[in-house]
Amino acid sequence: MKSIIQRGFFLTFLLMMLFALYTYFLLNKPLKESWQFFYELQFANIPLGLWLITITAIIGFSIAIWVFTLGRAKNKAIEQYVVEIADPEQISMASNHIPPHIERALKNVSDVLATQRNRLKKITDERAETQDKLIQERVVEERQRLARELHDSVSQQLFAASMLLSAMTESEEAQNPLLPQVEKMVQQAQLEMRALLLHLRPAALNNKSIAEGLEDLLLELREKVFFDIAYRLEDVELSKGAEDHLFRIAQETLSNTLRHAKATKVDVLFVERDGLAIFRVQDNGVGFKQTDEKTGSYGLQNVKERAIEIGATCKIVSVPSQGTIVEVKLPVEKGDQPND
């Protein structure tokens, strides 16, 4: 608004100066006499000079508003084009308002970004293949060692404490009302320990498809948790690197849900729709405000970073007391090579 007023006054002053110079050269009279002539000449009891000033101001402000509107439309078109470059799912609606030279520059940027995305996906695939042996030898061995130590020490102690508390609760001599509550706390600690052991399990598909790996993960999880797990999985052809990262995303999301959601039901979806591989985890847990700094935010940040590495988009929606949805969409390229 401030720019419109400034530009309107400037154009009004410029038009008045042009009109004054035109009058001076046309009538060959000094400016003072010219303005006096227009002041004395009246139309509808209003000096002609005032009419000229008003018309000049209207023209100046009209031009200012028109220029502002045109510039704003161009800015919106450029902004929409940039959004389309950043997110290929967006559709540009106002590309006609972009000047040709700017549109060419933006297309060059779009081509560069597309090339970088393809190179990043290729590097991710190659890195996943080269690191496969290291995961099988070193990382797998270290995770198994940690899981074995936790299972032999903390997990066994929790199990023994749970059995002891169960026997004390069933005993007629034990009348302490706190025993059931302590037993429930020990069972919750067992649940968290199982989730941690599951998280320490090596995230490798072992020549399985992503759907088979997710099904094995969910079936194993069903046996160790106290809430319902429903899933729908379809066979979707993805590259080696994309499958590896997507499986890690699933593991990170489910582990985060077990630790923080306090849910009673979890729905897992993995399907292909309109050329997109869609992976979604939805729970009915406590949720969180998306502006809060939660303990699980680190895990969700890892999910976002892994999605970016394979050229996918990640959307996280959470409502307090209603649950959380984590959705990852990955374009399916039919020309990708099959899994090794």
* Mean of pLDDT over the chain: 77
- pLDDT tens readout for residues 147-161: 777 766 676 677 777
Higher pLDDT, 332 or 80: 332
8 Å CB contact between 311 and 333: no
Asked which of 53-67, 87-101, 310-324 is least confident by mean pLDDT, the reply is 87-101
Higher pLDDT, 98 or 108: 108
CA neighbor of 320 nearest in space, from 299, 298, 291, 295: 291
**Dihedrals phi, psi of 174, to nearest 5 degrees:** -85, 110
Model pLDDT, residue 240: 86
Task: Please say if the pLDDT value at position 171 is more than 80.
Answer: no
Model pLDDT, residue 336: 43
Model pLDDT, residue 24: 63
Model pLDDT, residue 307: 92
pLDDT tier at 88 (50, 70, 90 boundaries)?
A: low
Asked which of 38-47, 57-66, 126-135 is least confident by mean pLDDT, the reply is 38-47
Task: Please say if the pLDDT value at position 340 is more than 50.
Answer: no
147 Cβ neighbours under 8 A, 6+ residues apart = 197, 200, 201
Model pLDDT, residue 297: 64
pLDDT tier at 252 (50, 70, 90 boundaries)?
A: confident
- pLDDT tens readout for residues 264-284: 999 999 999 999 999 999 999
- pLDDT tens readout for residues 186-243: 766 766 776 676 666 655 677 788 999 899 889 888 877 778 999 999 999 998 889 9
- pLDDT tens readout for residues 281-300: 999 999 888 765 444 466 78
Count of CB atoms situated within 10 Å of the CB of 6:
11
Average pLDDT rounded to a whole number, residues 26-45 = 61
Model pLDDT, residue 315: 93
pLDDT tier at 25 (50, 70, 90 boundaries)?
A: low
Model pLDDT, residue 90: 52
Q: Distance between CA 26 and CA 61 in Å, rounded?
A: 26
**Cα-Cα-Cα-Cα dihedral sign, residues 319, 323, 326, 327:** negative
Model pLDDT, residue 236: 93
Model pLDDT, residue 44: 64
pLDDT tier at 338 (50, 70, 90 boundaries)?
A: very low
Model pLDDT, residue 229: 93
Model pLDDT, residue 234: 94
Q: Distance between CA 151 and CA 147 in Å, rounded?
A: 6
Which letter, b or e, does each residue of 216-231 get, where b requires 16 or more Cβ atoms within 10 Å of its Cβ? Answer: ebbeebeeebebebeb
Higher pLDDT, 76 or 197: 76
pLDDT tier at 339 (50, 70, 90 boundaries)?
A: very low
Model pLDDT, residue 41: 61
**Tokens encoding 108:** 């060059």
